[in-house]
Structure 1
Amino acid sequence: MGLTPRLEFRQSQSLTLTPQLMQSIRLLQLSHLELNAFVDAELLRNPLLEREDGGDGDAAPEPPEPPAELSAYEDTVDHAERIKSADTIASGYDTEVENVFPDQVAPGRAAEQGPWAERGGHDGGEAPDIDQFVAARPTLAEHLVGQIGLLLADPGDRLIARFLTDGLDEAGYLTVGLDAVAEQLGAPLASVERVLRLVQGCDPAGVFARDVRECLALQLREKDRLDPLMQKLLDHLELLAVHDMAGLARAVGADREDLVDMLAELRQLDPKPGRAFATGAIEAVVPDVFVRPANGGGWAIELNSEVLPRVLVDRTYYATVAGKTRDAAEKAFLTDCLATANWLAKSLDQRAQTILKVTAEIVQQQDGFLRHGVTHLRPMTLRMVADAIQMHESTVSRVTSNKYVSTPRGLFELKYFFTTALASATGEADHSAEAVRHRIRQLIEAEQPDAILSDDTLAAVLHKEQGIEVARRTVAKYREGMNIPSSVIRRRQKRATILAGS
């Protein structure tokens, strides 16, 4: 059979993602901070876009009338003579000057106003912002640089010390290796080690340490309490981490009373000395959606309008400019700007409606959680929400990313409500994994020192109380995810607490 060329016609359907469609999909997963930054960039680039200020928006504000032109003589003499004094105007209204002109203070009351009178302050005005009078907190690096200038005289040593300061983390620990510092600066390793020993004496004590053992040792040396027994205790911190008090006492060679005193002294130290200083700005989480109880029952869902950007398309400006434009490139630019502006306004509206739609379905399915708490959190997946609102599962995933909802139970990320299901042994509804974690935490917090619950016991209790079919390894996974130690370590912790109390 020979190979010959031929023509074939086939008909098929495919979805083509245009750049604007891809951008609309990307807008769904942006947080409100990222979205506002994107809108600000579009406002700078597109002259047909403007922010909606929340007013009527229908009638454009009338431009102010230009002031009447005055001659030089009228401006300096006649106009000044026609202006009445504040006392004359106030006497015409039969009142005090400060009632008509709040910024004016009577001569007899100037001393009564206090220091705020010099700044134009008054009872009816806006109070000064107290943040303007609060000094900024110094950072750890700023605090250390001042000490390094007094501690080290050699410029080379100061350069090494500044490089070491740049290698500190927020806790005050040195995160760069001395070999790397010496190689990068071209300095002898002995010089870097010598400078490190010097700057380790800076305030706060424990800074420039390379691990927690060295951090505690520096603080104890500062207090002149680093004796041989304390040094042995620091050398066996791993036994203290697992609360093996018997093994720790044997390793240190101290009796029970001395060991209790040494541990009490360790608790007074700060393992993170750098956290007392200012770090990066902390941004509070702002909810995107509010969920409140409705008057007639149910829940009222409302978007947070303060973080939701709103834009308007200035079609009047487009018509004015387009009518005077003759250049083809300029017309193409205006057409592109108009299409982009229309797309952005439509995409923002669709994004808001999609967030409301997804949140409403989440609230409907998690009504028990909103009314009774985490123990009534239902297992829910992205597919369940997507099928209910007839959207794709990936769309729901993008909508719930980086979005927060304020509820009567607190502030939660929308992703929080999506949990896996654990089967029920009684044939009832499945249990949410988050509700199971919450119950495990409650059981562990309520356990007695002489009755520590193992993972097998926790699984048996969950099966007996709520009919939850959960394996021991699943309980261990949930426990480790909540940073709760094993039953052996918890038993040692309880005994150590009793020992310290006695």
Structure 2
Amino acid sequence: MALGPRLDLRQSQSLVMTPQLQQAIRLLAASNLEIEAYIGEALEANPLLDAGEVRMVEREAPPESAEPQVHDATPGEGDQALDIDPTALDRDRDTGDWAAQPAGALGNDDLPDAGERSDDDPTLAEHLEAQVGAASPDRHTELVARHLIGLLDEAGYLPVPLREVAGELGLAIAEVEQALAVVQSLDPTGVGARSLSECLALQAIEADRYDPCMRRLIENLDLVARGEFARLKRMCDVDDEDFGDMLAELRGYDPKPGLKFGGGSSAPVVPDILIVPAGEGWDIRLNEETLPRLVVNRAYYVELRNGCTDKASKSWLSEKLADANWLIKALDQRAKTILKVAAAVAKAQDGFFRRGVSELKPLTLRQVAEEIEMHESTVSRVTSNKYLHCERGTFELKYFFTSGVASSDGEGAVSAEAVKAQIRALCDAEDPKDILSDDKLVELLRDKGFDLARRTVAKYRESIGIGSSVQRRRQKKLQGVG
């Protein structure tokens, strides 16, 4: 077979990511605060755009309907929600279940309220910097102390060895030790410590309780953790009453004094979606306070068009008008898509909004996508960086997507979050003299309708910060001594 050059004419189809499609994807995944910042930039760049007032569309919710009533806070052009064709995009990784579990335990009234986050308080570094000048004996020590403050972790501990700090600054270790003493004299007491024992010792010294007995107790915190109280009483040479007082004093100290101050990096959470009861259903709105309404200034456009005399000016004006119209339509489609997803979530998790986390049901992206007839990658983008505020607090939208476990009656699955809430309730109510093992928790959960393996119960228990039966028995024993 001979090889040689030749010309062929072929026809094919392909999907192209246009700048408009790329921008629509970014708008869909952005939060209301990010949209607000983007709109501010658009208003500066496009003279045809103006910020209008938000007009609410008032509709009465039918009193007999349990369906969510969607009120659109950003009316505009078109009625189409925004559904991005996934074949034009990279495969989205968030296409399965979420087991959204914030740190800490969850109960019916112990839910992760994201609205409580704020960075208004001063950071630990700012709090210490304000004190170090007056506490330092000279300018040189003050500068070294400020350097040490910058090395502290969020809990207030100094994780870097003093010898390393001295070598970095080219100073004698005695100078660094003097500066560390200044830092450790600042409020809150315990900052600048290099270990838990030193942190508690500083607080005991401040309280004038650092006698030889307390010193030996603090030096043997590992024995305290293991509950070896008889051995500790012999080491400290105290009776039961004095030992109980020492433990009570120790429990009153703060092992992480720096955590009471703001981290300085977390921004306050502003909800994107608001949901309130409306008759037998729900009234769902976008948070209009963070969504200024864009309009095209038609009068200014006509004035500019009449003043355009050359082709380049007319082309520029037409481009700005097209950009303005596209942005208004894209924002309107984004709003409708978010409200559509939020309505589906409210319908699926009606029990949660009415009765709490014990009624949270398993929910996946695919279920919501099928309900609203969109692709699950679109739902994934809608739930990214979005927060929903209801009577129970402010929650990340992803929180409502949770995996499920089989029920013992075989009639369906229950939410993993509901199971965790039950485990928390059982452990909180257990008798200190009869700590529940994981096998016992399995039995009690089965009686409540949850069919779980022992390994699954242990996994859920650990995920909400509850220790093993041995750890809980030791902890309750420690609490009983005090």
Structure-2 residue corresponding to 1:66: none
CA deviations on 1:428-481 (whole Å, 9 max, x unpaired) are 011111111111111111111122111121122212320x22111211111111
Structure 2 unaligned runs (5+)? 57-119
CA deviations on 1:38-76 (whole Å, 9 max, x unpaired) are 1111111211111112479xxxxxxxxxxxxxxxxxxxx
Q: Normalising by structure 2, report the TM-score.
A: 0.78
Q: Note if 1:499 corresponds to 2:472.
A: no
Structure-1 residue corresponding to 2:40: 40
Does the aligned pair in 2 maintain the 1:293–1:300 contact within 8 Å?
yes
Does the aligned pair in 2 maintain the 1:244–1:492 contact within 8 Å?
no
Structure-1 residue corresponding to 2:215: 231
Does the aligned pair in 1 maintain the 2:446–2:452 contact within 8 Å?
yes
Structure-2 residue corresponding to 1:339: 322
Structure 1 unaligned runs (5+)? 57-135
Structure-1 residue corresponding to 2:287: 304
Q: C-alpha separation between the residues in 2 aligned to 1:425 and 1:143?
A: 54
Q: How far 1:31 sits from its partner (Å)?
A: 1.4
Query: What's the secondary structure of 1:15's corresponding residue?
Result: coil
Does the aligned pair in 2 maintain the 1:213–1:234 contact within 8 Å?
yes
Q: C-alpha separation between the residues in 1 aligned to 2:16 and 2:226?
A: 58
Compared CA separation, residues 339 and 252, structure 1 to 2 (3 A): farther
Compared CA separation, residues 364 and 38, structure 1 to 2 (3 A): same
Query: What's the secondary structure of 1:306's corresponding residue?
Result: helix
Q: Note if 1:472 corresponds to 2:416.
A: no
- Bigger Cα Rg: 1
Q: C-alpha separation between the residues in 2 aligned to 1:2 and 1:250?
A: 98
RMSD: 2.8
Q: C-alpha separation between the residues in 1 aligned to 2:221 and 2:146?
A: 31
Structure-1 residue corresponding to 2:52: 52
Q: Note if 1:200 corresponds to 2:175.
A: no
Match of 1:437 among 420, 437, 441: 420
Structure-2 residue corresponding to 1:215: 199
Structure-1 residue corresponding to 2:14: 14
Query: What's the secondary structure of 2:418's corresponding residue?
Result: helix
CA deviations on 1:320-356 (whole Å, 9 max, x unpaired) are 2133223554444333322221221111101110011
Match of 1:386 among 369, 373, 381: 369
CA deviations on 1:356-401 (whole Å, 9 max, x unpaired) are 1001111122223333332222211001111121111111011112
Compared CA separation, residues 202 and 361, structure 1 to 2 (3 A): closer
Does the aligned pair in 2 maintain the 1:289–1:405 contact within 8 Å?
yes
Compared CA separation, residues 8 and 446, structure 1 to 2 (3 A): farther
AA partner of residue 298 (structure 2): R
Q: How far 1:423 sits from its partner (Å)?
A: 1.6
Compared CA separation, residues 380 and 251, structure 1 to 2 (3 A): farther
Compared CA separation, residues 337 and 470, structure 1 to 2 (3 A): same
Q: Note if 1:163 corresponds to 2:182.
A: no
Does the aligned pair in 1 maintain the 2:437–2:469 contact within 8 Å?
yes
Structure-2 residue corresponding to 1:457: 440
Structure-2 residue corresponding to 1:59: none
Q: C-alpha separation between the residues in 1 aligned to 2:209 and 2:137?
A: 30
Does the aligned pair in 2 maintain the 1:48–1:313 contact within 8 Å?
yes
Structure-1 residue corresponding to 2:411: 428
Compared CA separation, residues 427 and 8, structure 1 to 2 (3 A): farther
Q: C-alpha separation between the residues in 1 aligned to 2:260 and 2:175?
A: 29
AA partner of residue 471 (structure 1): A
Structure-2 residue corresponding to 1:90: none
Match of 2:175 among 170, 177, 191: 191
Query: What's the secondary structure of 2:285's corresponding residue?
Result: strand
Compared CA separation, residues 141 and 257, structure 1 to 2 (3 A): same
Q: How does 1:97-116 map to 2 (within 5 A)?
A: none
Query: What's the secondary structure of 1:453's corresponding residue?
Result: coil
Q: C-alpha separation between the residues in 1 aligned to 2:139 and 2:270?
A: 47
Does the aligned pair in 2 maintain the 1:289–1:406 contact within 8 Å?
yes
Query: What's the secondary structure of 2:434's corresponding residue?
Result: coil
Structure-2 residue corresponding to 1:258: 242
Q: How does 1:310-321 map to 2 (within 5 A)?
A: 310-321=293-304
Q: How far 1:253 sits from its partner (Å)?
A: 5.7
Does the aligned pair in 1 maintain the 2:122–2:264 contact within 8 Å?
no
CA deviations on 1:187-228 (whole Å, 9 max, x unpaired) are 233321232124323344322222322111112223343233
Q: C-alpha separation between the residues in 2 aligned to 1:496 and 1:453?
A: 17
Structure-1 residue corresponding to 2:472: 490
Q: Which moved more, 1:174-183 or 1:311-320?
A: 174-183
Q: Which moved more, 1:388-397 or 1:150-159?
A: 150-159
AA partner of residue 195 (structure 2): D
AA partner of residue 497 (structure 1): Q
Does the aligned pair in 2 maintain the 1:236–1:251 contact within 8 Å?
no
Does the aligned pair in 2 maintain the 1:310–1:348 contact within 8 Å?
no
Q: C-alpha separation between the residues in 1 aligned to 2:371 and 2:55?
A: 36
Q: C-alpha separation between the residues in 2 aligned to 1:287 and 1:399?
A: 14
Does the aligned pair in 1 maintain the 2:123–2:264 contact within 8 Å?
no
Query: What's the secondary structure of 1:379's corresponding residue?
Result: coil
Q: Note if 1:350 corresponds to 2:329.
A: no
Q: Higher relative CO (CA 8 A, sep ≥ 6), structure 1 or 2?
A: 2
Q: Note if 1:414 corresponds to 2:397.
A: yes
Q: Normalising by structure 1, report the TM-score.
A: 0.76
Compared CA separation, residues 12 and 189, structure 1 to 2 (3 A): farther
Q: C-alpha separation between the residues in 2 aligned to 1:242 and 1:37?
A: 53
Compared CA separation, residues 397 and 143, structure 1 to 2 (3 A): closer
Does the aligned pair in 2 maintain the 1:403–1:413 contact within 8 Å?
yes
Q: C-alpha separation between the residues in 2 aligned to 1:361 and 1:278?
A: 36
Structure-2 residue corresponding to 1:481: 463
CA deviations on 1:71-95 (whole Å, 9 max, x unpaired) are xxxxxxxxxxxxxxxxxxxxxxxxx
Q: How far 1:11 sits from its partner (Å)?
A: 4.2
Does the aligned pair in 1 maintain the 2:28–2:381 contact within 8 Å?
yes
Q: C-alpha separation between the residues in 1 aligned to 2:393 and 2:129?
A: 42
